Chains A and B, each alone.
Chain A
Amino acid sequence: MAFEITVNGAQHSAEVDGDTPLIWVLRDVLGFTGTKFGCGKGLCGACTVHLDGEAVRACQTTIDSVGTSVVTTIEAIGATAVGAAVQTAWRNGQVPQCGYCQSGQIMSAVALLTATPQPTDSDIDAAMLGNICRCGTYVRIRAAIKEAARTRG
C-alpha cells in the first residue's frame, strides 16, 4: 500500500508493504542513500536516522510505524544548528576513514548533543556504543563530539 512520510521537510510517497523497514524506503525507493545498510538487525547503527529528533535504527523501524513522525537523514541534518556543529567538528577533526558508518555516527552524535549539550565520557559511551566503526575512528569521534559541545557552548 502507499505510505506518505515526511523526510527532510518534504512529503514523499512509497508504495510498499507496511512491514518494509524504513531504511529501504529511504535508500531504494526515495534515493536517500546517505543512510547506510550494515547489519539489518539493529546491531551496528549504520542506518541511524532521526524520528522526531530521536535517533532510531532505520532497519528496525517499519514504514507503517512512522505515521506522521518527521524523518531526518544525514542529507538534511546540517540544516540544524547542532547538526552543522557536529559536521564541522567531524571535518575539523578529520574523523572519517572509509566513512561508511559516519552517517550513523553523526546522527547518533547529534541526537546526543541535542538532548545532552555537554556530555560526559559516559554519556558519549552510552549514546554511541550502538554505532560500530570498523576503521576504528572512535578516538576521533569522541574528540569531535567534545569539540562540537564546546563550540555550542
Chain B
Amino acid sequence: MQPSPNPKPRLSRRGFLHASVGAGGALLLGLRLPIGRTAAVEASDASLFAPNAFVQIDPGGQVTLTMSYVEMGQGTYTAIATLIAEELEVDPTTVRLRAAPPNEALYANPLLGVQATGNSDAMRGAWLPLRQAGAAARQMLVAAAAERWGVEPATCQARLGEVLHPATGRRLGYGALTAEAAKHRVPREVPLKSPEALTLIGRPVPRLDVPAKVNGTAVYGIDIRPPGVKVATLAQSPVFGGRLRSLDAEAALGVTGVRQVVRLADAVAVVADHMGAALKGLDALVIQWDDGALGTLSTDDIAADLHAATLAPGAVAQTTGDAHQAMANALTRVEATYELPFLAHATMEPMNCTVHFHDGLCEIWVGTQAIARAQAFAARAAGLPPNRVILHNQLIGGGFGRRLDVDGIVRAVEIARSVDGPVKVIWTREEDIQHDMYRPYWHDRIAAGLDDAGRLTAWTHRFAGSSVAARWLPAAFKDGLDPDSTEGAVDLVYDIPNFHVEFARVEPPGIPTAFWRSVGPSHNSFVTESFVDEIAHAAGQDPLAFRRALLAKSPRARAVLDLAAEKAGWGGVLPARVGQGLALQHAFGSLIAIVATVEISPQGDIRVRRVVCAVDCGLAVNPDIVEAQVQGAVIFGITAALYGEITLKRGRVEQANFDTYQMLRIDEAPAIEVHIVPSTEAPGGIGEVGTSAIMPALANAVFAATGTRLRRLPFDAAKLKA
C-alpha cells in the first residue's frame, strides 16, 4: 500500500483563463476552475466577478489578490500570496489581500468541490491554479511592454513589479501596462517556473498577517463595529432539541444599557449597548426550558449504542485478500477495543456574527471557513434570496473545523430579524462549549493475526460513529461510507496482505457532530497506530523495526520514520517511568512520523517532555509555516489526549469553560522539533497532520514508560499510578 501521489488539481485540462479591464483600467485576471456553475460566470460582469482566485493590478501598480481560502492561523494568506507572487514577479509584502465573497462557481475548492477552507487542502488545491494565475498575468504584462518597445517578449524580464528590457535598460512598472496587457489574449498554456528558479516558494517568507497580529490592529469577526451596532448575547436550550417554555425578562430589561430581549423557539438573546450590559441582562433572565425528548440522555447511552454497533457488520470500507481466513490461520491473534470521546473545538475567538438588515438586504460580517454555505443558510433564515445576503469574511480567531458550520450565523440572523439596526451576537464561552458541534464519539473493534515468523498477516477493523460528511456534504456519503470517516483507517502505508475495514454509521441522538482538526485521522490514526504498537509488542519486536519491515513498498514512509527515530535517539536507555513512543501517518497527502517522550509521575500524571517530528509534505511552500503548523498541531493533539472530553448528563453538556474543558498551557508544553524532508513533489496538507499523529505516539510512549496500554482518550491518569 504505497502512499498515493498527491491529487493533482484537475485544472490544466479544462480550466481557462480570463482577463479583462475593470473599472478604472485595472487588469483583472482570474482563473476559473472547471467546477461549479460556469454559466453564471459568463453571464455576469466578467471584469469584476469572473475570476476565481484572482490577480488585480490597478494603474497605480497596486496588486490586489483575492483569497479564496480563509486565514485562520494556518498561514494560507501568506502561502497562497506567495504562489501568485512567485510567478507574477512581485514582492509579496506589497500586495493587498482581500477575502473572497461567497461564490461557489468561482471559488470552489477543487478538492472539496465547495467553497470552503478545511481538510488541509488549500495548498493542495491552489498549488498549480494560483501559480498559473500569476504566471499568465506576468506573461501578458511582458507582452504589453514588449509591444510598446517593439522588441521580442523573450528579450524582456519581469522582476519586482516591473518589466525590464536589459539590452536597452528600459523599464516599465506593471501599473503603466494594465490597459495594454488586458488586450492580450490570455495564454492557454502557462509555463511555470522550474524548481531551481523559485525565489519565494520553498523559502521562509514572513507571514503577511503577523505585524497586525502583534499590535492589536488585526480585525476578527468579533471586532466588527458598524455604526450604531448593538451587542447581543444568548442562552440556548441546555438540552439539544429543547424549547423555551417560559421567560420573565422584566429584570433584564431594567439593566442599564439593555435595549431588548429576543425570544426564539429554543433560545433567548439580550440586546444591549455593550456586552457587559448584555451579560448582566442575561443573568437577570428567568428562563424555563422544556427539555424535550433528550432530557435524560447521557454519554454512556451513546457509548453503549456505538459499542453494540461494532458487534454487527458495517459498510466495507476496504478489503484486500481474505482477512477472516488469514485470522483463522494465524498463530497469534491480537484483539482490542478503543474508544474516543466527543470533543469541542474551543476556538479562542468564541462564536460571533454581526448582522444588519437594511434596504432589503441582510449584511453579515463573520469569520467563516465556508462562506458560500453561510450565505445559503443565512438566506434561508433571513427569508431572502441568497443574492440579497451580503457577506464580509474576516480573519478567524481559530477555526479547527468549527467555522465550517454556520449554526452561529443562522442564530445571529434569527436574532437580527427582530432588531432595528446592526447587531453583533457574541456567545459566552459557556455557550460556545455547550453548544458546539462535536468531534464524533468513536468506538473501535480491531484485531490482527501474526504467523509463526511474527509477520502481520491479517488485520480487521470495525468502527462505529457519526458521519459528519453525511450531514455536511451529503453527496460524499455513499453506500454507508464517506472518505472522511475512513481516512487513516484505510490505505495504510503498511503492506498487510489480508486487510478488512468496516464503518458502521451511528448518529448520536440529537447531538450535532462536526469536523474537528485532523478530522477522520483524529480518530483513526490513534487507533491504528496504537494498535500497530500493540502488535509489535505481541510479536516481541521493536516498534520501529516492526514498522520498517512493513514498509518495503513505501520508501517515503520509511524515510520519515527513520528520520524521526534518528533525531529522537530511538532505542536509547531511559530512566524509569520515562518512555518513547512512535507513530507514523499518511494523511492529507503528507507523511509524518513522531517520536514522543513522556515521563509519568508516581501519581500517574503524564508530562510530555519532547516531541520529534519528521514530515514529508512534498515541497514545503513555506518551511517556517510548516514548522509552526506541526508545532501547533502537536500541542492541539496533546490537549486532546490529556484533557479533551465532552460528556453529557441529563441531556446537558457537563463542561462549560476552560476550567472544565482544559487546554494545555505553556508550562506543560514540550520541546517540539520539526524536521522537514526535502522534496520537489507537489505539496501535501500540513495544518492537521500533527494533531492526529501525536495522540498514538503518546499512548505508545505511555506504554513504553509503564507497561499500561491506554485505549481510551483522554488518558486516565488513575491507571498509571506507580
Contacts and interface: CB of A to CB of B under 8 A. Distances in A.
Given A28-B274, A34-B217, A99-B395, A91 B211 contact: yes
A107 B344 CA distance: 27
A24 B231 CA distance: 10
Interface residues on A, range: 35 or more
Interface residues on B, range: 35 or more
Interface in B190-214: 204, 206-207, 209-214
A130 B659 CA distance: 11
Nearest to B622: A94
A128 interface: yes
A141 interface: yes
A8 to B, nearest CB: 10
A62 to B, nearest CB: 9
Contact of B216 (A35, A94, A141, A142): A35
Interface string A111-128: 000000000000011101
A137 B242 CA distance: 39
Contact of A16 (B214, B277, B672): B277
B429 A134 contact: no
Contacts of B217: 34, 75
Given A25-B276, A90-B214, A33 B398 contact: no
Contact of A34 (B216, B632, B633, B639): B216
A45 to B, nearest CB: 10
B220 A136 contact: no
A52 interface: no
B331 interface: no
Given A37-B426, A97-B73, A136-B632, A129 B667 contact: yes
B608 to A, nearest CB: 12
Interface stretch (B9-17, B345-353, B553-561, B589-597): B345-353
B659 A28 contact: no
B225 A99 contact: no
Contact of B73 (A19, A73, A99): A99
Contacts of B216: 32-35, 73-75, 103
Mostly, the B contact residues are loop
A139 B256 contact: no
Nearest to B672: A139
Mostly, the A contact residues are loop
Interface in A129-153: 129-142
A60 interface: no
B276 A16 contact: yes
A53 interface: no
Contacts of A103: 216
Interface string A83-117: 00001001100111111111100100000000000
B414 interface: no
A134 B633 CA distance: 9
Contacts of A78: 215
Nearest to B352: A37
Contacts of B214: 87, 90-91, 95-96, 99, 102, 106
B659 A41 contact: yes
A36 B397 contact: yes
Nearest to A35: B216
B186 interface: no
B671 interface: yes
B276 A75 contact: no
B666 A131 contact: yes
Contacts of A82: none
Given A44-B348, A98-B72, A138 B215 contact: no
B58 to A, nearest CB: 28
Contacts of B665: 128-132, 138
B572 to A, nearest CB: 23
Nearest to B670: A139
Contact of A39 (B74, B210, B279, B657): B657
Interface string B630-656: 011111100100000000000000000
B542 to A, nearest CB: 29
A134 B275 contact: no
Contacts of A40: 279, 428-429, 657
B347 to A, nearest CB: 6
B548 interface: no
A94 B256 CA distance: 43
The 8 closest A-B pairs by CB, nearest first: A34-B216, A136-B635, A100-B397, A98-B73, A99-B213, A97-B73, A28-B274, A74-B216
14 contacts: A17-B257, A17-B280, A28-B273, A34-B215, A74-B215, A94-B624, A96-B209, A99-B212, A102-B213, A124-B666, A132-B663, A134-B347, A137-B628, A139-B669
Interface of A: 16-17, 19-21, 23-25, 27-29, 31-41, 43-44, 46, 73-75, 78, 87, 90-91, 94-103, 106, 124-126, 128-142
